[in-house]
């Protein structure tokens, strides 16, 4: 599905918001660019106006756009974006389909609202709720079973980066968090260095290229052709001021944005930078 006729070099098809690139073997493939906004534990009814603004501002060549509000706002967010290309996702789900799990939400419940994505394995869940790679993998499988696309997050800590362990740590996280059977349709991978989240610190472009190229290689080795189409997002202090530079990296297919996704005036320039990349 992601292979099309051979073309001589990487190019972009703006009308589709899609990158057409060439593998080392000469095959061409497409990955639709994606910007996802993670509202975390922010927002209320009032923030739906921002979604209304975003809904009305998207052009035909916009990348895929997903907003992940807190679960109680999912239905309102679906209503606020109705008729627009903006999709809605949850921020986490339980691995089980139902049962005595007070405070948790099943993937099917998220899907029932009309949402199409769910984030799993965010570092704020891994650290704050002691979630292991195995838990994250089970959650991704639960997301798939409910028909949702799982955005699987991985990323190294400050100490791991300082210890020169980044590549090994995130390769291990990817392999252990990614279920067998991952495809371009059911999975997106987000690389979010923990030290870059909400701090204003961002890896250098060279560091982002290094990690994303390594992750692409891991996906190809593990999944073969399917690894070509899985989108890799960068997350951690993405702002209107740095988005264009980050999107220069060939294996960055978009961004997972926290703080700057809360206001249309901040998120729209990031969407535009991705569309132009
Ligand atoms: P910030 O963009 O606020 O750094 O958050 C990134 C993030 O954690 C998105 O999931």
Helix (H) or strand (E) holding 58: none
Q: Average model confidence (pLDDT) for the chain?
A: 91
- pLDDT given for residue 20 in this prediction: 54
Average pLDDT estimate for 145-152? 98
User: Is ligand 1 within 6 A of the CB of residue 122?
Assistant: yes
Average pLDDT estimate for 138-165? 97
- pLDDT given for residue 15 in this prediction: 35
Could you confirm whether 192 is annotated as catalytic? yes
Does CATH number 3.20.20.70 belong to domain 34-63+72-276?
yes
Selected catalytic residue, list 156, 192, 212, 218: 192
- Pick 234 or 61 by higher pLDDT: 234
| Whether the predicted pLDDT of 58 surpasses 60 | yes
Average pLDDT estimate for 84-99? 97
Q: Which atom of ligand 1 is nearest to the CA of 40?
A: 10
Let me know: does 229 contact 253? Beta carbons within 8 Å. no
Paired with 38 in beta bridges are 68
Q: How confident is the model at residue 61 (pLDDT cuts 50, 70, 90)?
A: confident
| Whether the predicted pLDDT of 13 surpasses 90 | no
Q: How confident is the model at residue 29 (pLDDT cuts 50, 70, 90)?
A: low
CA distances from 169 to 38, 64, 156, 164, 177 (A): 23, 29, 7, 10, 12
For atom 9 of ligand 1, the residue with the nearest CA is: 258
User: Is ligand 1 within 6 A of the CB of residue 229?
Assistant: no
| Whether the predicted pLDDT of 5 surpasses 50 | no
- Residue that is written with structure tokens 């589709």 in the block: 16
Break the chain into its structural domains and give their ranges: 34-63+72-276
Q: Which atom of ligand 1 is nearest to the CA of 190?
A: 10
- Residues in the chain, how many? 277
User: Is ligand 1 within 6 A of the CB of residue 31?
Assistant: no
């Amino acid at each position: 599905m992601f292979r099309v006729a051979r073309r001589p070099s990487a190019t972009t098809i703006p009308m589709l918001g899609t990158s057409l690139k060439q593998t080392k073997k000469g095959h061409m493939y497409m990955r639709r660019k994606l910007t996802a906004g993670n509202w975390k534990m922010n927002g209320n009814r009032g923030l739906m106006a921002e979604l209304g603004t975003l809904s009305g501002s998207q052009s035909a060549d916009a990348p895929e756009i997903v907003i992940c509000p807190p679960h109680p706002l999912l239905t309102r967010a679906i209503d606020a974006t109705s008729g627009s290309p903006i999709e809605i996702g949850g921020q986490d789900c339980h691995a089980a389909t139902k049962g005595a799990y007070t405070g948790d939400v099943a993937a099917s419940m998220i899907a029932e609202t009309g949402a199409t994505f769910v984030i799993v394995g965010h570092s704020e869940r891994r650290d704050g709720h002691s979630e292991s790679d195995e838990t994250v993998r089970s959650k991704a499988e639960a997301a798939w079973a409910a028909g949702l696309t799982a955005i699987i997050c991985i990323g190294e800590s400050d100490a791991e980066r300082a210890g020169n362990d980044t590549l090994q740590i995130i390769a291990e996280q990817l392999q252990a968090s990614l279920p067998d059977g991952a495809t371009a349709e059911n999975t997106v991978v987000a690389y979010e260095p923990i030290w870059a989240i909400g701090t204003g610190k961002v890896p250098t472009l060279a560091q982002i290229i290094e990690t994303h190229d390594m992750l692409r290689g891991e996906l190809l080795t593990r999944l073969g052709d399917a690894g070509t189409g899985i989108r890799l997002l960068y997350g951690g202090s993405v702002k209107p001021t740095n988005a264009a530079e980050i999107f220069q990296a060939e294996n960055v297919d978009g961004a997972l944005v926290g703080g700057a996704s809360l206001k249309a005036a901040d998120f729209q320039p990031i969407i535009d930078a991705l569309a132009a990349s």
